[in-house]
Amino acid sequence: MAERTTTTGPLIGADELSAMAPQVTILDVRWRLAGPPGMDLYRAGHLPGAVFCDLDHDLAGPPGAGGRHPLPEPADFQRAMRRLGVSGGRPVVVHDDGDATAAARAWWTLRYFGHRDVRVLDGGLRAWTEAGLPVTADEPRVTPGDFTARPGGMPVLDADQAGALARDGVLLDARAAERYRGETEPVDPVAGHIPGAVSAPTSENVDPAGRFHRPEFLRERFISLGAVPGVPVGAYCGSGVTAAHQVLALELAGVPAALYAGSWSHWITDPDRPTATG
């Protein structure tokens, strides 16, 4: 497949990353909700120079009242990123092994905490290997970075704001449609969705190869869901991971959007908050 992404936006293609790899920090964010551990996948083979970033521990705070993947405390995130070699003045490229679900959480969190040059490898490790580029099991020696975490680089929603947006704007539910409808809930103790939210599965943001659809396609998709100019837009999911993917797709489409980081796993911690099914 021809190279189609450039450094002018939040995505980067495999060939372009290969050409500039020595000048960037690469974070491998492979992750599965039910396993296997991403570190095992990383050790079996990864991009040369890439460092493993643990979504559960490096990109989120401890699960609890804030949800399953609440935002980490700034000091904790700063410490984790410096350990992984992230510096404020050095570009960062993040990737997973497929559709950027996990990588988008890294992209969003770094942007939220103030890093200005973060890109996602479009198509992830699969695109890299399909381009005939090498992988290695050698783990690099990491020079600690100097990244300083400054919250506020991306818009966020709390529960009250998410509920209001579902009524007065557009709140996109990034989960699979059957979870939105409440037909199944494999993770959280309550099924359903925030009343007024619109079902918008992130699987429809990418093609079968796991690469993002073109901006024109995404723009039409989100317009069909009500995300038109002048209407405030937000996204949520189960715990703020796939919703970050939604925010990334919306950015590609030219639509600014806020993230409800606590998402459904936080919404249902208060029994007085309404839920809907169907």
Active-site position among 237, 244, 252, 258: 237
- Give the angle subtended at the CA of 130 by the CAs of 125 and 133, to the nearest 5°: 75
Contact, 119 vs 251, CB < 8 A?
no
Q: Checking DSSP bridges between strand 118-121 and strand 198-199, what pairing results, if any? A: unpaired
Q: Considering only CA atoms, which of 87, 78, 32 is closest in space to residue 58? A: 78
Buried b (16+ CB within 10 A) or exposed e, 180-219: bbeeebeebeebbbbebbbbbbbeebbeeebbbbeeebbb
Q: Considering only CA atoms, which of 59, 119, 116, 124 is closest in space to residue 248? A: 119
Which residues does residue 171 pair with via DSSP β-bridges, in sequence order? 234
Note if 237 is an active site residue: yes
Residues annotated catalytic, as ranges? 237
